[in-house]
Structure 1
Amino acid sequence: MLNSTKIQREQSELRQKLAELSGKDQPDETEIRQMNELDKRYQDNEIRYRAALISEDAERREAGAELEKREGKEWGDLIAGFEARQVAEALDHGAQLSGRTAEVVAELRSQGSFQGIPVPLEVLEQRAGETVAAGLYEPKQTRDLVGRIFPQSVASKIGVQSVNIPFGAVEYPFLTAGAVAGWAGTELGDVGAPQTAATTEITLKPDHNLGAQMVISRKSLKQTAGIENAIRADMSAAIAAALDDAVINGTGATGQPLGLIPGAATYGIASTDVASLATWANFRAEVVEFMEANAITDASQVRLAFPPAIWAGLDGAYVSGTAVTELDRMASHGIKPVLANQIPADTAILTTTVQGVAPAVLGLYGAVDLIRDPYTKAASGQLVLTGIVTLDFTATRGLQTRILTVE
């Protein structure tokens, strides 16, 4: 029993005794002495009770923090022990899942509907040297961040945030109008008319399905030692490449989400035509635009991505009369560009994170749904595996992204 609970019970007994004694019209000396003693004990217990509450609250917080860490670590341990080899064997000849793999699959099935065997997104990720960004904003729903499926991708490097959504549509509210500061013109004058706090929302819906297929030969199924790495590498590469292309070039048609470049007008992203991208001055002008929109306070807060050809042009363009290139000038302001073949030629993308809000959000629904097809290639004993990811993508605020194109 908690110490505070014991003190509470004792206090209740003391109050009852005090009530009995105080109800007498003419208490004798012994009863008066008892009332004084009971009153002193009651006051002392009040101090003990407050101290017990403080101590127990600290213990609860420590225990809660330890529990949270333990739960996260236990899930991480389960994921680390997940064997894609078991999934392949289960899909091929109905072998039973066991160990940590079975526990992870059972947990995922309890949280969503899958036609095949659910595979955690973390299993497909590249696990070397990854980091997790901090300071992510809180949407209407509280959810866990999904481990990045493309830790080395262009999308993550330009600040796109990926979130895990269990099911349904998720709405992100953004404040567009609120408090207005004003001066009082006279001693009794008002400080200005109030303005309604207005919001706008962006919504992620499970409208887009991305599939990655692979064929496993009969020989590969028998050589189980390397099948796990093969499945992870192949599907990871296919999904990562398709997600990167969708984030940047998605058309919004034929099942694709609307990417940053085709969706610039829809998202309110400024797209500027320039004569050349081989000069720091054009990029500097966009940095200034970010500053004037109160999006950044320093040039190093800007993320920049463009194709390798633009990098080569900047590195080969020397400032007249010096050994300094336009790329050197850019680097002197703390901007380290990301080279991306997915970005069209003569195009550059600039993004920034404002108050923890990412420039764009990629919503991934649940896990990869791994579906087995033993019939299409039955004549040769091959197994066709299809991994389906349900997702949606949207930019958050247009002022956090800018696009430069050559005229």
Structure 2
Amino acid sequence: MLDSVKIARRQSEIRQQLSALVGKTEPSEDETRSMEALDAEYRTNETRYRAALTAEDTERREAGADLETRSDKDWSDLVGRFELRQVAFAIDEGRALTGATKEVVEELRQHGGYRGVPVPFAALEQRAGETIAEDQIKPKTYRNVIDRIFPNSVAARLGIERIQIERGELAFPVATSGAVFGWQTTELGNVGGPNPYETTERSLTPDHTGGAQMVISRKALMQAGRGLEDAIRRDLSAVISAELDRVVINGTGTGGQPLGIIPGAATYGITSTPVGAAASWAAFRAEIVAFMESNQITSANAVNLGLTPQIWADLDDALISGTAVSQWDRLTKHVGTPSLSNVIPDNTAILTATVQGIAPGYLGLWGGVDLIRDPYTKAQSGQLVLTGLVTADFTVPRGMQTRILTGLTGG
């Protein structure tokens, strides 16, 4: 802590003590001596305070740009103190933002244009042990809001990596051709002709913007109170995450959506194999062998696998003749537990691998959630409409790191 801050705090304490003493009409001798000592210390501290400010001038100028040079850990700590409750009241009642919430909003505004109040994605994450509804004397007590049910992320289980982007586009150069090895055919012969090093490019562009809308009634504000912050955070986070998860797998690339893995298989160069038979370990093993033969993995457990609950049921029900071992048992013995999700289309499975630290896909997120207030549409009933705008894009840098199985029929 800066010395000037310590001195300023001590001065405040002295003023409080003096305020209590000077209010007495007949102070005792001890109190009189205490007032003299405090007065002398206060005057001395004034001189020390001015000297500290002079000495700290350079540090203060550097601290003025603190938000611009803040490390990732400092930024995470700041976002951890972000209060969505303040945002709700700011857009509903016009209250001023304070503390860490104000700093985060100002920082986000400096790096992008927002019509409403910017909210960092990290602030939408559920925080353990925060915001517990307080019981008060009233006819009915309201506990924490019971949330809606959303699916868990299958994209994360498949190794898809999220990238936070401030502004502009992000490109991934991908090598498609390079050096080749050759032997001399004669003592003075060449080892082989030169081969060009060529690349192609995959880009994330801020061309896709979607929004999550929520209507907050007057009753909800009165019932939930402080618990409304957690409820809004969880609900916005869940609906945004669920939709981002869906477009990663099934985004059509039209109607404003990014292009996902399955509709974009041909565009991304992803191998899609129509099985046309019952789901079995043999079908998955063939794709894992293809990964190995292309030098991407060296063991089956390096593969991430996503499939539908129905395929799991078919595999678990298909027993190997004369044994109590199912096709599911054989699969999980080698691959581990796959991710089950209804986001994946029926009769379809996705296999991915992270190779040389490169994820099978990248989901780009620009800035934070732009939270916009609309107090007019539902003004007749005192309702508040909130819209959280999200700009995102998805791309697959190397199609060879993903394989798709279709037509996996029941056993």
Measure, in 1, the Cα distance between the counterparts of 2:90 and 2:104.
15
Measure, in 1, the Cα distance between the counterparts of 2:161 and 2:265.
18
Contact 2:281 2:330 in 1 (8 A): yes
State the partner residue of 2:166. 166
Q: How many residues align?
A: 319
Amino acid at match of 2:255: T
Distance 1:278 1:127, change over 3 A: farther
Distance 1:151 1:266, change over 3 A: same
* C-alpha displacement of 1:220: 2.7
Look up the SS of the partner of 1:174 in the other structure.
strand
State the partner residue of 1:121. 121
Look up the SS of the partner of 1:92 in the other structure.
helix
Gaps spanning 5+ residues in structure 2: where? Answer: 1-68, 129-149
TM-score, length-scaled by structure 2: 0.75
Measure, in 2, the Cα distance between the counterparts of 1:219 and 1:315.
48
Contact 1:184 1:192 in 2 (8 A): yes
Higher alpha-carbon deviation: 169-178 or 273-282: 273-282
Look up the SS of the partner of 1:275 in the other structure.
strand
Measure, in 2, the Cα distance between the counterparts of 1:406 and 1:263.
18
Look up the SS of the partner of 2:342 in the other structure.
coil
* Root mean square deviation, CA, Å: 1.9
Contact 1:89 1:221 in 2 (8 A): no
State the partner residue of 1:46. none
TM-score, length-scaled by structure 1: 0.76
Measure, in 1, the Cα distance between the counterparts of 2:192 and 2:110.
54
Query: For 1:321-400, what aligned pairs fall within 5 Å after superposition?
Result: 321-400=322-401
Gaps spanning 5+ residues in structure 1: where? Answer: 1-68, 129-149
Contact 1:277 1:310 in 2 (8 A): no
Measure, in 2, the Cα distance between the counterparts of 1:171 and 1:163.
12
Measure, in 2, the Cα distance between the counterparts of 1:277 and 1:236.
37
* C-alpha displacement of 1:70: 8.1
Amino acid at match of 1:214: M
Measure, in 2, the Cα distance between the counterparts of 1:171 and 1:101.
32
Measure, in 1, the Cα distance between the counterparts of 2:278 and 2:351.
13
Is 1:401–2:402 an aligned residue pair? yes
State the partner residue of 1:96. 96
Deviations 1:317-342 (A, max 9, x none): 11111111111111221332110111
State the partner residue of 1:110. 110
Amino acid at match of 1:392: D
Deviations 1:36-90 (A, max 9, x none): xxxxxxxxxxxxxxxxxxxxxxxxxxxxxxxxx9833321221111000000000
Query: For 1:1-400, what aligned pairs fall within 5 Å after superposition?
Result: 71-126=71-126, 152-222=152-222, 223-400=224-401
Measure, in 1, the Cα distance between the counterparts of 2:239 and 2:249.
16
Measure, in 1, the Cα distance between the counterparts of 2:295 and 2:394.
25
Measure, in 1, the Cα distance between the counterparts of 2:205 and 2:251.
16
State the partner residue of 2:145. none
* C-alpha displacement of 1:127: 5.1
Contact 1:274 1:405 in 2 (8 A): yes
Amino acid at match of 1:189: G
Look up the SS of the partner of 1:404 in the other structure.
strand
Look up the SS of the partner of 1:332 in the other structure.
helix
* C-alpha displacement of 1:176: 1.1
Distance 1:362 1:197, change over 3 A: same
Measure, in 2, the Cα distance between the counterparts of 1:98 and 1:158.
40
Deviations 1:163-211 (A, max 9, x none): 0111111111011111111111222221111111101100111111110
Measure, in 1, the Cα distance between the counterparts of 2:364 and 2:301.
27
Contact 2:271 2:399 in 1 (8 A): yes
Measure, in 2, the Cα distance between the counterparts of 1:73 and 1:303.
30
Deviations 1:119-169 (A, max 9, x none): 0000112457xxxxxxxxxxxxxxxxxxxxx99411111011110111111
Contact 1:85 1:224 in 2 (8 A): no
* C-alpha displacement of 1:102: 0.5
Look up the SS of the partner of 1:287 in the other structure.
helix
Measure, in 1, the Cα distance between the counterparts of 2:285 and 2:333.
12
Measure, in 2, the Cα distance between the counterparts of 1:293 and 1:196.
21
Amino acid at match of 1:395: V
Look up the SS of the partner of 1:392 in the other structure.
strand
Measure, in 2, the Cα distance between the counterparts of 1:190 and 1:264.
41
Contact 2:251 2:258 in 1 (8 A): yes
Measure, in 1, the Cα distance between the counterparts of 2:260 and 2:219.
40
| Runs ≥4 residues deviating over 6 A | none
Contact 2:115 2:370 in 1 (8 A): yes
* C-alpha displacement of 1:297: 1.1
